[in-house]
Structure 1
Amino acid sequence: MVTKAYPGSPDQADLSRADSLAREVFSDIANKWALLIIETIGDRTARFGTLRDGVEGISHKMLTQNLRMLERNGLVVRTVHPVVPPRVEYTLTEAGQALRVTIDGMCAWTHQYLAHIETARRHFATDRPDGSPR
């Protein structure tokens, strides 16, 4: 994988700055739906209905909003085929595929530490029956 230089100013890439573009992008993609949509598209081209069926619990509206956001950020390409009825397909871009590698790592981390997290939650609940901090 080739690492490309960021053409913007360092301020635009600084996650610690509230007005940075990087923080806006991070906020866009760091939601449960975007991550699941990217994982569901994977290496293939997928239609809207396939994505809706593949991301359990997502509404039509949320899928539409997230696909638009992913397209806006250059992570997904939307292709409309001029047929009746219209056929729309979604494919990850190179940037989307690169992000998917990170998401795959997060999925592996979740599988590896799920039992640990469940144990910690049980201890937290028994240490604090009302869920309040110490």
Structure 2
Amino acid sequence: MALGSHTEVTAVLEPCGDAGHPDCGIRDVLDRIGDRWSVLVIVELASGTRRFNELQRAIDAISQRMLTLTVRRLERDGLVIRTVYPTVPAQVTYELTERGRGLTHLVKQLADWSLEHKAAIGASRKLYDLENPENVIR
């Protein structure tokens, strides 16, 4: 079957048919779990429970504020459990929920793919930039 129009192509690629909005909420979920910091937090928590400072040391260049926002968002989405222990000072730990643990193999596959193709993607970018010096995409 030959596809001619944009509408025909997107209809074939539509993952959930006519469920109201074209992206069926997929974009919202992918925005959260696919952002730079969330992926790194999920990768770190895949090895087990971590304290806040352990997470911050493990995730290079993340600020305290950004880490706080990221773990709160992941907690809100039901991917991370935050436990506060009644000590002085209070001890707080983070761990993946069962739903969060379900993401770890997907994140690992993405990380493995990224490592495998990193050099080729870098070479493609250099070639593209050489062939398109006026382009501002970076």
Match of 2:23 in 1: 16
- The one-letter code of the counterpart of 1:128 is N
Matched, 1:96 2:96: no
Question: Aligned partners of 2:52 and 2:43: how far apart in 1?
Answer: 14
Match of 1:26 in 2: 30
Rg: which structure is higher?
A: 2
Contact 1:43/1:92 (<8 A) preserved: no
- The one-letter code of the counterpart of 1:114 is K
Match of 1:4 in 2: none
Question: Over residues 43-64 of structure 1, what are the superposed CA-to-partner deviations in whole Å (9 max), with x where a residue is unaligned?
Answer: 3110000000111111111100
Question: Aligned partners of 1:125 and 1:26: how far apart in 2?
Answer: 29
Question: Aligned partners of 1:49 and 1:15: how far apart in 2?
Answer: 40
Contact 1:124/1:131 (<8 A) preserved: no
Greater Cα shift, 23-32 or 116-125: 23-32
Which of 42, 49, 54 aligns to 1:50? It is 54
Q: How does 1:1-134 map to 2 (within 5 A)?
A: 11=19, 16-17=23-24, 20=25, 22-131=26-135
Tell me the TM-score normalized by structure 2: 0.80
Gapped regions of structure 2 (runs ≥ 5): 1-17
Contact 1:52/1:58 (<8 A) preserved: yes
Gapped regions of structure 1 (runs ≥ 5): 1-9
Number of residue pairs matched by the alignment? 120
* 1:132, distance to aligned residue in structure 2 (A): 5.2
Question: Aligned partners of 2:101 and 2:63: how far apart in 1?
Answer: 24
Question: Aligned partners of 1:130 and 1:23: how far apart in 2?
Answer: 31
Tell me the TM-score normalized by structure 1: 0.82
- The one-letter code of the counterpart of 1:86 is A
Contact 1:78/1:91 (<8 A) preserved: yes
Identity score, percent = 33
